[in-house]
């Protein structure tokens, strides 16, 4: 089995270069044979992953970066059956690595992965929208959380907080402002779960997030009971409440105590279809995709093999 590394040294405002230096030292000290690709811009990790996994042979794919880089590489995997995926966290939030329960830092995870052929399987989410589709490991959603992700990509606040290791706090701070500025939009939601179909109409949709892991945005537990190996996803929808009420409920959300609160719905699903009266912002694992009126989320059960 060949080992392929995809490395984003620019993640966490460049501090990931230190993480790579420690990984590089480990690889040299342990005489590990590998091929490496360094990303230079958006889409590179997807193309590198596609190149690495298209030959039909078994590949150990190691991806170092934040959740955005991990998502890009996930979307490039051409052969899931023959790919053993290992995420090496070096971002601000690292929600995917936390969500699947990998312990330790990037070197700890690397060491465990290289010394075993055992793996665990995890679910992947897929979002389908006009003009395309993307896979996700943590979450995908529309509304306020997506707009926060869009802002965070170029946020001076995030760059400032990253200097002190507090980059994950960016998402919570931006959310407070966006609750009072983002438009709330009416929409229809249809869910399918274990062959049961349900339909809802929401007034003033604030956001609707499809969760594979329990937390996004630097550890905010949007779906506290979600498990990435459950075989289904969990939708967290906020709607039909005022902006002030939504703000007042934020402490419950941050504490993971929001289930059952009026205006907050948690729904397990295999597939979900959302149709809005006007476009809302869409993110995939924290990366901005665009603005859409119609979106579908699906679960791909146990599709991803992970070592570490």
From the list 162, 112, 135, 166, the residue with the least C-alpha distance to 46 is 135
Question: Given a cut of 60, is residue 6 above it in pLDDT?
Answer: yes
Tell me the per-residue pLDDT of 149-196, one tens digit each, with 9 for 90 and over: 776 655 554 555 455 454 555 555 666 666 767 778 999 999 999 989
Q: Kindly report the pTM of this predicted structure.
A: 0.89
pLDDT (tens digit per residue) in 16-75: 788 999 999 999 999 999 999 999 988 999 999 999 999 999 999 999 998 999 999 999
Could you tell me if 82 and 53 are in contact, meaning their C-beta atoms sit under 8 angstroms apart?
A: yes
CATH class of the domain whose range is 126-301: mainly beta
- Asked whether the beta carbons of 189 and 200 are under 8 A apart, the reply is yes
Domains of the chain: which residue ranges?
Answer: 2-118, 126-301
| Nearest by Cα to 146 from 3, 16, 280, 301 | 280
* pLDDT for position 174: 64
Quick one: which H or E segment has residue 288?
strand 287-306
Q: Among the CATH numbers 1.20.20.10, 3.30.360.10, 3.30.70.270, 3.40.50.10330, which is that of 2-118?
A: 3.40.50.10330
pLDDT tens digits along 242-296:
888 888 888 888 889 999 999 899 999 999 999 999 999 999 998 999 999 999 9
Model confidence over 77-106: pLDDT tens digits?
999 999 999 999 887 778 999 999 999 999
């Amino acid at each position: 089995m060949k080992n392929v590394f995809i490395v984003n040294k620019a993640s966490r405002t460049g501090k990931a270069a230190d993480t790579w230096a420690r990984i590089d030292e480990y690889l040299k000290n342990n005489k590990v044979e590998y091929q490496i690709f360094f990303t230079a811009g958006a889409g590179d990790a997807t193309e590198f992953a596609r190149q690495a996994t298209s030959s039909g042979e078994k590949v150990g794919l190691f991806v170092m970066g934040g959740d955005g880089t991990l998502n890009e590489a996930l979307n490039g995997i051409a052969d899931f059956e023959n790919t053993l995926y290992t995420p090496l966290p070096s971002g601000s939030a690292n929600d995917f690595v936390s969500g699947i329960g990998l312990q330790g830092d990037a070197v700890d995870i690397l060491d465990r992965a290289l010394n075993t052929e055992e793996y665990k399987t995890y679910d992947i989410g897929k979002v389908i929208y006009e003009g395309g589709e993307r896979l996700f490991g943590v979450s995908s959603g529309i509304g306020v959380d997506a707009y926060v992700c869009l802002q965070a990509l170029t946020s001076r606040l995030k760059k400032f907080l990253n200097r002190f290791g507090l980059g994950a706090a960016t998402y919570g701070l931006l959310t407070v402002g966006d609750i009072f500025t983002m438009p709330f939009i009416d929409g229809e939601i249809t869910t399918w779960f274990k062959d049961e179909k349900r339909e809802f109409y929401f007034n003033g949709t604030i956001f609707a997030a499809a969760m594979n892991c329990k937390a996004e945005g630097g550890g905010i537990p949007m779906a506290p009971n979600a498990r990435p190996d459950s075989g289904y996803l969990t939708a967290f929808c906020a709607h039909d409440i005022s902006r002030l009420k939504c703000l007042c409920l934020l402490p419950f959300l941050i504490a993971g105590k929001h289930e059952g609160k009026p205006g907050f719905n948690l729904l397990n699903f295999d597939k979900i279809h959302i149709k809005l009266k006007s476009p809302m912002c869409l993110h995939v694992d924290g990366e901005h995709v665009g603005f859409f009126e119609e979106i579908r989320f699906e679960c791909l059960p146990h599709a991803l093999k992970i070592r570490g």
